[in-house]
Structure 1
Amino acid sequence: MEITNCVTQETTNAAVMGLGSNEQEMLNFAIKNGIINLPHLQDQIEMMKNAEILQNHQYKIWQGNNQKWYTYLPDGKDGRKQVKRSTKAAIEKAVIQYYRQNPKKEERKIKTFKDAYEHWRSVQDTLVCHNTVCKYNTDRKRYFDNTSFVKKNIQDMTEEDIKVFIVKTVKEKALCKKACKTLFSYIKNTIYSARVNKAIVGDPMEFLQAKQFYQYCVEKEKPLEQKIFSDLDLNSLHERFDLDHEKKPDYIPTYAVQLASLTGMRVGEIVALKWEDIKMDYIVINKSEKYDRITKEYFIDKTKNKKDRVFPKTKEIEKLFNTVKYVEQINGFLCEWVFADKDGRIHAPKVSSCIKNKCKQQGIRNRGIHSFRKTVNSKLKCNGVSTTVAASLLGHTEEVNEKYYTFDTTDLKYKTKIIEDIEVKQQK
């Protein structure tokens, strides 16, 4: 009887919390006389408490593309930690269990820049792919971790505080303009999120622009010979391709590298090619291989600019595809994918590693597959092809084409000939 009375009194105290004296008296009467079922009341109180915990949870709960459910929980070391469960009920249970074991954490509000940043990330991470989340995490460690700036009370943060932090970070980390712009956007998005959530009233970023800090940035310009392959390098590599096809005809990555040298295709686009994409006169480029750095899995997605494009199939390209199909057929590799070996479709890192080995074998400067894109595009431009056409073939915008992919590939002999022709015309 004493135990029952104890439980009843404890439950009654929990149930009547916040009620007026008359309401408390009525509730106690109902419980004692069996009008209200005590176990049912306990369940209702637990459900209300759990709902309150979930409502106050500062991080968003979302379902990923892999059908798993995610959220973040506060973590003393890194600020927060990601939690994954198979169902929504399971992830909610994990949240409830955490806050019941750590009741003080439930009351945490947006006070510091770090709090505001983590709240912004809790939403932003649900809107982007896993690889972007990984980039966010890397940048957070690079720019914000272990800095006094993130510990500042966000309500007291001024424009001067932000300016000093950005300039200091740009100088200490030797950031280029692109990295500076990225840092600026993280701070701006965090402040905006804090304003939306009414953690601050004013906007210390109102009169700041990323370009104000470019004067403190460094220019990381690579020499031309590191960006593109010279004609001498290309000739050397194609000699190596022919030699490898003869000695190791079943090593498929070499054929993939050769296709990159002829088309300037991205490595992800090359390994995602299917035989159905190889038409009579052209190649359809409409997908690309991606790697999820969180799940550690490869998957096929759209191209980088989300657009389909075609690339003309020259006689040399057609010969390459015929050779690949023949080699794969006699070795039992032939399947729906253009580039496959005994393990199935080959992945991008295998092709990227192959080009580095070819450069090393030929004694030329080590470059990646991307250098073929810049080389092919530059040759097109130097041969009079318009930016519009070149950008269409390579699969990027005209602005990107001009800014990052166009270089002078002509040699001194060619330039001398141009000058001589001008001189002859002038003498006439």
Structure 2
Amino acid sequence: MHIEKKELIKKYNIPARPGKDGYYRIYVKDPTKKGGRKQLFGKTLEELESKLYAFEKGVTGSARHTFAEVYELFLEDKLKYVKAEEKRVSRQNTINKNRSDYKRYFAGTEFEQKYIDSISKNDVEGIMFFNLERYTMRDKAMSSLKGILRSTFNFAYEQYWIADNLYTRMNFNKFNGMLEQNVSNDKRVHSEFDLKRILRAIHEHQEEKPCYMPAYALEMQILIGCRRGELAPLRRSDVLPEGIWISREQISVKKFNNVPEHWKIVDHTKTYKDRLFPLTDSLREFLTRLYAVLDRYYPNSPYLFPDSTELGVINNNTVYRLYYRICKQLGIKISREEIKGTHSFRRNAITDVVNATGGNVILASQLFGNSPAVAAKNYYTGVDTGTALTALNKRKFS
């Protein structure tokens, strides 16, 4: 690094003496600035040289960049163009997840230290093979790995750091034989029998400790198939005559710089799709019971699921922990491979709606806040064979 730093800054005429204000100053080319240049300054020559080096290693600098550096610059650029604070919080969470994925696949490898303009097709195939050999990977993990490569090479190409974007010429299909088969959606949901057992256990919790709000939140998640983060921010004012208005979510803001991890309610859902969930008969009955509890224990709270937290509501983790305890108590296995969890209730709900409406995936996606493609691929667990059999028996062949 020391040799590289000397090479990068030797093209500049470093001032021998500071200005009248005691600072050493120099101008560098910067096409992002109106005049095409900007000033760097430092109290000492060492500080100025460090700033020059950082500039040269940045997006507008002329230094060669390693794969690791390009990906980090891409992530910084990704956040740069998000202005609204709430969107920045969500974007920062996404970036933290991106960094975690990067660490899993690339940290400590020779590949990440290669200069982006020297990486060959064989290098990319090598890092793919290396990860597929050491990890059990399915389509989702493969997409994550490819996504990092795609983003890095695309960004380098946009910045003119590479003359050819070799990612676009890669044949990733050759690795399909190394992937584990995806777990089918029908194995990622609870059976109707287990759902009823879970509901009975929830009702027992409510009877034993009526002021424990996670038990009501878990029941509501089963009834309306919402995301866990969409439960906590719900207010009484969100319950309308025609349905429940879902437009916010509670997110866990991961630790970043000196800011500790914390919960935050944002005015958008995960997919930025506000939606109205109709008041079904079972939901009306549930709300009647819930309001009685709220009036007795939390008469001054505007929320459906209040708690004595900083935000005044339960947090997402308490709902999952209750679900986990109930499953353990009932002997219901929660398999990491099949990834059940509370999110599986969305699959139950989406499948029920799709089958009951003759395959109307668009309606289901509108009710549950997914695109039709995502609802069909990740949530729909299959046809109701009983209904299908009835339809098939109506066919006449004589």
Verify same fold: TM over 0.5. Answer: yes
CA separation in 1, counterparts of 2:42 and 2:378? 48
Deviation at 1:292, TM superposition (A): 0.6
1:208 matched to which residue of 2? Answer: 170
1:240 matched to which residue of 2? Answer: 201
Tell me the secondary structure at the aligned position of residue 215 of structure 2. helix
CA separation in 2, counterparts of 1:312 and 1:404? 23
1:231 matched to which residue of 2? Answer: 192
Query: For residues 209-255 of structure 1, what are the alpha-carbon distances to aligned partners after superposition, in whole Å with 9 as ceiling and x for unaligned?
Result: 55454343222315734x11222112212222332222211111111
**Structure 2: which amino acid aligns with 1:265?**
C
Structure 1 residues 111 and 277, CA, compared in 2 at 3 Å: closer, same or farther? closer
Corresponding residue to 1:327 among 257, 270, 293: 293
CA separation in 2, counterparts of 1:95 and 1:283? 59
Structure 1 residues 350 and 97, CA, compared in 2 at 3 Å: closer, same or farther? farther
CA separation in 1, counterparts of 2:195 and 2:112? 50
Alpha-carbon RMSD across the aligned residues, in angstroms, is 3.5
1:402 matched to which residue of 2? Answer: 376
CA separation in 2, counterparts of 1:167 and 1:237? 43
CA separation in 1, counterparts of 2:165 and 2:208? 66
Structure 1 residues 153 and 234, CA, compared in 2 at 3 Å: closer, same or farther? closer
Corresponding residue to 1:166 among 122, 128, 141: 128
Confirm or deny: 8 A CA contact 1:191 1:203 kept in the other structure: yes
Structure 1 residues 312 and 178, CA, compared in 2 at 3 Å: closer, same or farther? same
2:74 equivalent to 1:120: yes
2:25 matched to which residue of 1? Answer: 48
Deviation at 1:281, TM superposition (A): 2.8
1:271 matched to which residue of 2? Answer: 232
2:275 matched to which residue of 1? Answer: 309
Of structures 1 and 2, the one with the larger relative CO (CA 8 A, separation 6+) is 2
Structure 1 residues 329 and 416, CA, compared in 2 at 3 Å: closer, same or farther? closer
CA separation in 2, counterparts of 1:284 and 1:328? 19
**Structure 1: which amino acid aligns with 2:204?**
L
Structure 1 residues 94 and 238, CA, compared in 2 at 3 Å: closer, same or farther? farther
Query: For residues 372-395 of structure 1, what are the alpha-carbon distances to aligned partners after superposition, in whole Å with 9 as ceiling and x for unaligned?
Result: 111111122232342121221111
Tell me the secondary structure at the aligned position of residue 42 of structure 1. coil
CA separation in 2, counterparts of 1:230 and 1:303? 28
Stretches of 4+ aligned residues off by more than 6 angstroms: 92-98
CA separation in 2, counterparts of 1:93 and 1:236? 68
Alignment of 1:297-376 (within 5 A): 297-301=262-266, 302-332=268-298, 334-343=300-309, 344-366=312-334, 367-376=340-349
- When structure 1 is superposed on structure 2, of 239-248 and 347-356 the one drifting more is 239-248
Confirm or deny: 8 A CA contact 1:325 1:334 kept in the other structure: no
Identity of aligned residues (%): 22
Tell me the secondary structure at the aligned position of residue 116 of structure 1. helix
CA separation in 1, counterparts of 2:103 and 2:363? 41
Query: For residues 32-63 of structure 1, what are the alpha-carbon distances to aligned partners after superposition, in whole Å with 9 as ceiling and x for unaligned?
Result: xxxxxx99x432x72524x66xx89xxx9xxx
- When structure 1 is superposed on structure 2, of 314-323 and 343-352 the one drifting more is 314-323
TM-score by length of 2: 0.76
Q: What is the aligned residue count?
A: 351
CA separation in 2, counterparts of 1:150 and 1:345? 43
**Structure 2: which amino acid aligns with 1:361?**
Q
Deviation at 1:94, TM superposition (A): 10
Confirm or deny: 8 A CA contact 1:252 1:324 kept in the other structure: no
**Structure 2: which amino acid aligns with 1:113?**
F
Query: For residues 87-115 of structure 1, what are the alpha-carbon distances to aligned partners after superposition, in whole Å with 9 as ceiling and x for unaligned?
Result: xxxxx999999845968955653243333
Query: For residues 349-402 of structure 1, what are the alpha-carbon distances to aligned partners after superposition, in whole Å with 9 as ceiling and x for unaligned?
Result: 111111122222333233422111111111222323421212211111111121
**Structure 2: which amino acid aligns with 1:313?**
L
Confirm or deny: 8 A CA contact 2:224 2:277 kept in the other structure: yes
CA separation in 2, counterparts of 1:235 and 1:93? 68
Q: Where does structure 1 lack aligned partners over 5 or more consecutive residues?
A: 1-16, 25-37, 61-91
Structure 1 residues 175 and 197, CA, compared in 2 at 3 Å: closer, same or farther? same
**Structure 2: which amino acid aligns with 1:378?**
T
Tell me the secondary structure at the aligned position of residue 124 of structure 1. helix
Q: Where does structure 2 lack aligned partners over 5 or more consecutive residues?
A: 1-12, 33-39, 58-62, 82-87, 335-339
Tell me the secondary structure at the aligned position of residue 311 of structure 1. strand
Confirm or deny: 8 A CA contact 2:24 2:42 kept in the other structure: no
Tell me the secondary structure at the aligned position of residue 155 of structure 1. helix
1:86 matched to which residue of 2? Answer: none
**Between Structure 1 and Structure 2, which shows a larger proportion of helix residues?**
1
CA separation in 1, counterparts of 2:45 and 2:305? 49
Tell me the secondary structure at the aligned position of residue 341 of structure 1. coil
2:4 matched to which residue of 1? Answer: none
- When structure 1 is superposed on structure 2, of 299-308 and 200-209 the one drifting more is 200-209
Structure 1 residues 217 and 276, CA, compared in 2 at 3 Å: closer, same or farther? same
Confirm or deny: 8 A CA contact 2:116 2:162 kept in the other structure: yes
1:29 matched to which residue of 2? Answer: none
Corresponding residue to 2:356 among 363, 380, 383: 383
1:10 matched to which residue of 2? Answer: none
CA separation in 2, counterparts of 1:18 and 1:425? 87
